[in-house]
Structure 1
Amino acid sequence: MKAYRDLAPSPRIIMTPGPVEVDPRVLRAMSYPVLGQFDPEFTGLMNETMEMLRGVFQTANKWAYPVDGTSRSGIEAVLVSLIEPGDSVLVPIYGRFGYLLAEIARRCGAQVIVMEREWGGVFPQEEIIEGIMRHRPKLVALVHGETSTGRLQPLEGIGRACREQDVLLVVDAVATIGGVEVAVDAWEVDAVIGGTQKCLSIPAGLAPVTYNSRVETILLKRKRIERGLLMEDAEDIKGFVAIRSNYLDLSQLQDYWGPARLNHHTEATTMLYALREGLRLTLEEGLVNRFARHALHESALVAGLLGMGLELFGDPSCKMPMVTCVRIPPGVDGESVRTMLLEHFGLEIASSFGPLKGRIWRIGTMGYSCSKRNVLLALGALEAALLRHGVSLPPGEALQAAMDVYAIGSG
């Protein structure tokens, strides 16, 4: 029989748009003893987690809980629970993950209407609002932070326009929750999906969601059909179709997370420990302080990259604070540079997708990875790798420019 060595992953400095380095306190929480999912101590932890999620999402919604699965499971749970065959869904797309929303909506049987923007920019809110007025969809699905392009879509005003037209607004905040403001109630967003493996610095494996009473009303009507209650309030549920998923059915998940604690699935115990600890650390730092930390380290990274003579990609007016896209210098093999960073410095940055593949690198400053130490190491390592690849640049200028930002920021 083959003998396998002990598991010993290499230590890495992960400066990608996700996953990122996990906070050691989260890893410690994952090592604690497993409790039964209906143990009162564990259900107490579930309640605390929901309470903390409301704080991070900045909402008074009754429902705020994680879907067991990576971020995509949360996106799919919300869409499959809300979209019925034939529904009109508007998806403004300005990067890769907008296409994902459109694909999932189509798989739910929706008639998808797409608005597209060239990669590197976002939509003016009035353009999306005009699309809502013109198409009158049942639902608008929109990415808040598009990590494929490093752009942040402004949401103010879009939720109000949706309410006025009785349209649901669903937002993918996977990359932004915990790193920049996601004001669910103030922006009048009906459902929001977050991610654990990015600014919250938790391993991938849960998808926090929150939604309001407008969403719950639809879920409950579809649930009654699924249970065969077609004769009760027939007019009220006329035209509704049962939710076509069991595991990703939000109406069943809220029974599991609500006071009834109806058995639906076996909760991912240690992942819930991780989420609770990650949320606790986020709230302990304070949202305003956390957002300011992400902005500071972004500023230092950008200053260093520009000091190195590199060119950034995309419209700077809508740049994500936690993802910086850098154009690969002409004649440089971007993958060769990434390999050198990983092999010699234990540092990982990301490539890109679609029309940007081979044209840009994406550097993440998210959560626990968002630190002065990591930014300075990344700049020094990238400078060394580029010099080894024959790029002419001013040695030392990148680190000095970043340190100037830190000197001002700490003053």
Structure 2
Amino acid sequence: MSHEMFNANSNGALAPLSPPPRLLMGPGPINCYPRVLSAMSTQLVGQYDPVMTGYMNEVMQLYRDVFNTQNQQTFLVDGTSRAGIEAVLVSAIEPGDKVLVPIFGRFGHLLAEIAERADAEVHTIEVPWGEVFSPAQIEAAIKEVKPKLLAIVQGDTSTTMLQPLKDIGAICEAHDVLFYCDATASIGGNPLDVDAWKLDAVSVGLQKCLGGPSGSAPITLSDKFVKMVRTRHHVEAGIRDAHHEAARGPKIRSNYFDLPMIMDYWGEERLNHHTEAASMLYCARECARLHLEEGQQNVIARHKVAGDAMLAGIQAMGLAPFGDLNHKMYNVVGVHIPEGVKGEAVRETLLMRFNIEIGTSFGPLKGKIWRIGTMGYNAREDAVLHTLQSLETVLRMQGFNAPAGKGVDAALTVYAEAKAAGVADA
């Protein structure tokens, strides 16, 4: 019997929400930490209540620690992770600006599209899906294009690859290029050191390793980036600053995503811009609190162990992982769909009979790989073991000769070795 049949009462009225108990083991979103769900139910206060502005200040400091930065301008953009991307790009780009986008998966194409919509002169370089760029490739493109901005994804869940960033910031600095990164899929489960890697702007979301729902986009901006976007003209309450207008560039095309206006809203002035999404702020605050309470290095280690265990289990079942494993994200693995196995039928059976969701893929990988995530609240041993055992059962139902129990055994070995090595919460 389908779940949809339970959505109405006998009198035809809609029933209360009662979604099935899914275990979300795809590339995101994932199951939220229980404490995050509780935080979202907290009662509201006014947006200028000193309690609320105090929470906003706490969120700014919490995310400085999450991002590993001293950037004053570290705050939330209300909206999904794409809202953070748009805010950075539309605020930074003036028509005709050169933007360089290295593409190694679907979300590089997204950055390029948003930059094009902001009327940038977009230049792209690409590697085959499953690979990443070397610093030398990026520097060569910067020398050729001479862009104002480099926009790159750190972890692209469409390919499960993690782009190394730590050498790119110095390259951008040497060539006077602003360095922006979308780290939505990687933050919290993989190292990200904003200041040490000389990143000028980073935007993320909550729905991956940070263990929250989609709907809030933490961002952080360097002083250099802030100085640049504050030269852009914008209108506050319909009043033009004529004295400074001549020194400013064209106004930012979006009111909602105008970063100088949002910075004034979060700053000491508290200039009205929008009504803060209070429940999502509570949520983002708790995501950061959990991350820092567990300890950033411990959280990353937990994600690495969970990812290693899932990878070992997949390989022990006779399945082939996708891409360059030297650059695989800790929190998601791509898996080639075996010949003769109906990939979508496997996903449907896992979802409808085992209550486990794994992901499909896009573009050149559509129908060729599954993507299995181990992130946030689900980067834990029981979730890994349950997913591996259930996948083995479903594959056997399709006639695939998976060695009985080998996947779970391999994952258990990874966890045992991690515990013996003293890895926290392994």
TM over 0.5: yes
Aligned partner (choices 286, 293, 307) of residue 298 of structure 1: 307
Does residue 86 (structure 1) correspond to residue 121 (structure 2)? The answer is: no
- Deviation of 1:233 (Å): 8.0
Q: Is the 1:125–1:156 contact (alpha carbons within 8 Å) kept by the matching residues of 2? A: no
Aligned partner (choices 161, 168, 187) of residue 158 of structure 1: 168
- Deviation of 1:158 (Å): 1.0
SS in 1 for 2:233: helix
Deviation per residue, 1:49-91 (Å, 9 max, x gap): 0000000000000111110000000000000000010000000
Please identify, of 214-223 and 14-23, the stretch whose mean Cα deviation from structure 2 is larger: 214-223
- Map residues 4-403 of structure 1 onto 2, 5 A cutoff: 4-223=14-233, 228-232=240-244, 234=246, 236-237=247-248, 240-403=249-412
CA distance in 2: counterparts of 1:12 and 1:213, whole angstroms: 43
CA distance in 2: counterparts of 1:228 and 1:265, whole angstroms: 19
Instruction: Give every structure 1 segment of 4 or more consecutive aligned residues whose post-TM-superposition deviation is greater than 4 Å.
Output: 224-227
TM-score using structure 1 length: 0.97
TM-score using structure 2 length: 0.94
CA distance in 2: counterparts of 1:102 and 1:220, whole angstroms: 23
Deviation per residue, 1:330-381 (Å, 9 max, x gap): 0111000001101111100000001100000000111111110000000000
One-letter amino acid matched to 2:222? N
CA distance in 2: counterparts of 1:250 and 1:352, whole angstroms: 33
Unaligned runs of 5+ in 1: none
Q: Is the 1:312–1:325 contact (alpha carbons within 8 Å) kept by the matching residues of 2? A: yes
Please identify, of 204-213 and 215-224, the stretch whose mean Cα deviation from structure 2 is larger: 215-224
Q: Is the 2:233–2:245 contact (alpha carbons within 8 Å) kept by the matching residues of 1? A: no
Q: Is the 1:223–1:251 contact (alpha carbons within 8 Å) kept by the matching residues of 2? A: no
SS in 2 for 1:8: coil
- Report % sequence identity: 51
One-letter amino acid matched to 2:394? A
Aligned partner (choices 394, 401, 415) of residue 406 of structure 1: 415
Structural RMSD (CA)? 1.3
Q: Is the 1:312–1:327 contact (alpha carbons within 8 Å) kept by the matching residues of 2? A: yes
CA distance in 2: counterparts of 1:222 and 1:371, whole angstroms: 46
**Aligned length in residues:** 408
CA distance in 1: counterparts of 2:122 and 2:379, whole angstroms: 37
CA distance in 1: counterparts of 2:36 and 2:235, whole angstroms: 41
SS in 2 for 1:72: helix
Unaligned runs of 5+ in 2: 1-10, 421-426
SS in 1 for 2:76: strand
- Deviation of 1:397 (Å): 0.7
CA distance in 1: counterparts of 2:219 and 2:290, whole angstroms: 19
CA distance in 2: counterparts of 1:266 and 1:114, whole angstroms: 37
CA distance in 1: counterparts of 2:298 and 2:30, whole angstroms: 20
CA distance in 1: counterparts of 2:44 and 2:344, whole angstroms: 42
